[in-house]
Amino acid sequence: MTHFITEASFAAIIALASVPFGAPTASASQWGRAPVVDVQYRPAYACSPVQAVQKARWTGLRYARVTTVTPRRVVVSGRNYRGWDRMVFANVRGCPLIRR
């Protein structure tokens, strides 16, 4: 019987001693840190002007700059080895080339 009382008292002491360690952990996440904001990034479904200029430069157009942006197309003008030229990209993801 004394063995059971000894084990029960030991378990109670450990349970009471572990209570103060749980409270600061929960309170530190609420007051000590900034709140966590859940941000959902949407993929870009349009052709950005920066991406269109990069693709135009990659294909050999120098001094490339965006001339026109419409809901359907992005026009980039610049110079190639023959003179002034323009490239027309579709205003969708990936900037596919429509016309050169």
- 82-95 per-position pLDDT tens digit: 999 999 999 998 88
Cα gap 72→76, rounded to integer Å: 14
Task: Tabulate helix, strand, coil % of the chain (nearest 5).
Answer: 40, 25, 30
DSSP letter (8 states) at residue 71: S
Give me the residue label for tokens 């269109």.
52
Q: Which two tokens stand for residue 95?
A: 């900037």
Whole-prediction pTM: 0.56
pLDDT single digits (tens) 13-72: 676 666 665 555 555 555 666 666 677 766 667 888 999 999 999 999 999 999 999 999
Contacts of 57 (CB under 8 A, 6+ apart): 64, 78
